[in-house]
Amino acid sequence: MRQLPPLNALRSFEAAARHSSMSRAAEELFFNHGAISRQIRALEEFMGVALFQRAHRRVVLTEAGETLFSAASAALDLLAAGTSQVKAASRSRTIVVSCLATFTMRWLIPRLYRFKGLHRDVEVRLSASDQPFDFMLDGIDVAIRVGRPPWPAGTKTTPLLVERTGPVCSPGLWSPGGAEARPDLSQFERLHTHTRPLAWSYWLESQGLSEIDPQAGQYFEHYYFLIESALAGLGFAVCPEVLVAGDLASGRLIAPFGFAPDGQSYYISQPATHVSDARTNGFVDWVLAEARGETGRE
């Protein structure tokens, strides 16, 4: 029976040793500094020996640490290579895409038939997530997220769409006309989502509307619940334009204040080490063309 150290701790140790920094290891692995430190302490307790000497803003391997680092690097490289081979063999025609749930439902899925028309032999599997991603550990080829630079390390990342947000509502709740060019938002229910609890705060601040309570109103667990609630006439919701474009075009929603950039962008990422993968590149190029409106329309 193999006597193995805690593998998550070993991975944190290898990254910290490679960078000579726990902070840079935390950035690479999407952990915080404290989590990396705790895992390395647990590994040192398991080994019964110190692996690092702590210096100012960096860590230096002890003799025991050098020995373990050499073995850990070789083992992780071998595991990564084997994982890539197995994934490539089992998913040679499959692209696994990790994407924000509401963006998947309202932007990506309605367009996928066009990709299938161009690439009938490629299967696209969708995985909904808004969490930090690791291509190898999560078993994904492409990730679509929203945020601001700097983009995740070790990726080839391209901005996809600039996010523009603004309050929307059902025309049954408020319709423009008469002397009131825009609604008095203080007189209406304001709808929120737990996934973006500060959306109203940011938008109201950008408009100089400090007299309106940004936290008051009804909260929903997911963004698609928020949009459906606005469609049902329950109140006003601050939404990204890209997620409600179809409802605006059909007249199911209106945006009395219009939309303005909020400083974030949707972006698409793939592993920097796999940029020669024609299958993944083809999907990424298609998504970028869709975002620019350059693909054919029926």
pLDDT tens for each residue of 163-174: 999 999 999 999
Task: Read off the pLDDT of each residue in 225-247 and give the average, rounded to a whole number.
Answer: 96
Within a domain: 155: no
Picking from 69, 89, 109, the residue at the C-terminal end of a domain is: 89
200 and 214 in contact (C-beta within 8 Å)?
A: yes
Q: Hey, is 265 helix, strand or coil?
A: strand
Residue 17 has pLDDT above 50, yes or no: yes
pTM of the entire predicted model: 0.66
Instruction: Note down the domain range covering 218.
Output: 163-263
- Looking at every residue in the chain, the average pLDDT score rounds to 89
Say whether pLDDT at 178 is over 60: no
Among 79-83, 88-92, 228-232, 265-269, whose mean pLDDT is lowest?
88-92
Q: Same structural domain for residues 257 and 203?
A: yes
Q: What is the mean pLDDT of residues 251-269?
A: 94
Is residue 85 located within the same domain as residue 106?
Answer: no
Residue 158 domain-assigned (yes or no):
no
pLDDT at residue 282, as a whole number = 92
Higher-confidence residue of 298 and 112: namely 112
Given this model, what pLDDT does residue 89 score?
56
Residue 87: predicted pLDDT: 62
CATH number for 113 = 3.40.190.10
Q: Can you give the CATH number for the domain in which 57 is found?
A: 1.10.10.10
**Pair (188, 258) in one structural domain:** yes
Instruction: Tell me what the mean pLDDT of segment 16-29 comes to.
Output: 88
Distance between start and end Cα atoms, the chain = 61
Of the pLDDT bands very low, low, confident and very high (cuts 50, 70, 90), residue 179 is low
Q: Where are the beta strands (DSSP E) in 148-211?
A: 155-168, 190-193
The predicted-structure confidence for 107-150, as pLDDT tens digits, reads as follows 999 999 999 999 988 999 999 998 988 888 889 999 999 998 88
Q: Are residues 109 and 185 in the same domain?
A: no
pLDDT at residue 295, rounded to an integer: 47
More confident residue, 233 or 294: 233
Whether 133 and 186 map to the same domain: the answer is no
pLDDT number for residue 253: 96
Query: For residue 97, what are the CA distances in angstroms to 41, 66, 161?
Result: 35, 38, 17
Same domain, 96 and 141: yes
Does some domain include residue 2? no
Number of domains in the chain: 3
pLDDT in tens, 41-82: 998 899 899 998 887 778 889 999 899 999 988 888 888 887
> Is residue 297 predicted with pLDDT exceeding 80?
no
How far, in Å, CA of 239 to CA of 191, rounded?
Answer: 10
Stretch 200-227: mean pLDDT, rounded?
93
Distance between CA atoms of residues 185 and 165, nearest Å = 16
- Does 279 lie in the same domain as 237? no
Domain shared by 144 and 191, yes or no:
no
Q: With a cut of 60, say whether residue 208 has pLDDT above it.
A: yes
Residues 127 and 186 in one domain: no
Residue 157 lies in a domain: no
Are 274 and 259 found together in one domain?
no
Counts for the chain of helices (H) and strands (E), in that order:
11, 10
Cis omega (within 30 of 0) for bond into 150: yes
Query: What is residue 174's DSSP assignment?
Result: -
Residue 122 lies in a domain: yes
Higher pLDDT residue, 179 or 28? 28
Do 180 and 43 belong to one domain?
A: no
Same-domain status, 248 and 221: yes
